């Protein structure tokens, strides 16, 4: 198992949720509001005037628990569906040692 983590602009929240609902390998996902700042912020075309003044951009963290063999197809589906939002988010993948219900 792996967790695919996406960091996207907050305005993309509903669009990405709709996309994830259409990907059969995605059984569920979690959105968490976050605030981001990084060295690449100057090249980011999304910050509003408010974002530039306060020094960070409102973001959403999306966490998706996936089977390792589903990762690349899920990433490819996201890339295809988000063509017009290219380079407006980042992702990383981390291993999950164990998961279950409490």
What is the four-CA torsion angle of 73, 77, 78, 79, rounded to 10 degrees? 100
Measured between alpha carbons, how far is 9 from 62 in angstroms, rounded to an integer? 11
- Position 35 in a domain: yes
Element (H, E) at 79: helix 71-81
* pTM, full prediction: 0.81
Report which of 21, 14, 27, 22 is spatially closest to residue 64, judged by C-alpha positions: 27
pLDDT at 6: 95
Give me the phi and psi of 29, to 5 degrees please: -160, 160
Q: Is residue 8 part of a domain?
A: yes
* Residue 59 CB-density burial (10 A; 0-12 exposed, 13-18 middle, 19+ buried): buried
pLDDT digits (tens, 9 = 90+) for 48-72: 565 665 667 789 999 999 999 999 9
In the chain, how many domains are there? 1
In a domain, 101, yes or no: no
d(CA 27, CA 23) in angstroms, rounded, equals 8
pLDDT of residue 31: 97
Whether 30 is in a domain gets the answer: yes
Query: Residue 81: what pLDDT?
Result: 85
Q: In this structure, is residue 63 part of a structural domain? A: yes
- Is 96 or 88 the better-scoring residue by pLDDT? 96
Determine, yes or no, domain membership for 24: yes
What pLDDT score does 51 carry?
61
């Amino acid at each position: 198992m792996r967790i695919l983590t996406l960091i996207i602009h907050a305005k993309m929240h509903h669009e990405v949720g709709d996309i994830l609902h259409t990907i059969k390998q995605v059984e569920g996902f979690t959105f968490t509001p976050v605030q981001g700042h990084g060295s690449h912020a100057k090249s980011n075309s999304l910050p509003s005037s408010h974002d530039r003044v306060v020094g960070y951009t409102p973001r959403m963290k999306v966490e998706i628990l996936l089977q390792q063999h589903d990762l690349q197809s899920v990433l490819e589906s996201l890339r295809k569906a988000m063509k017009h939002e290219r380079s407006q988010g980042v992702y990383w993948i981390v291993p999950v040692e164990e998961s279950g219900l409490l």
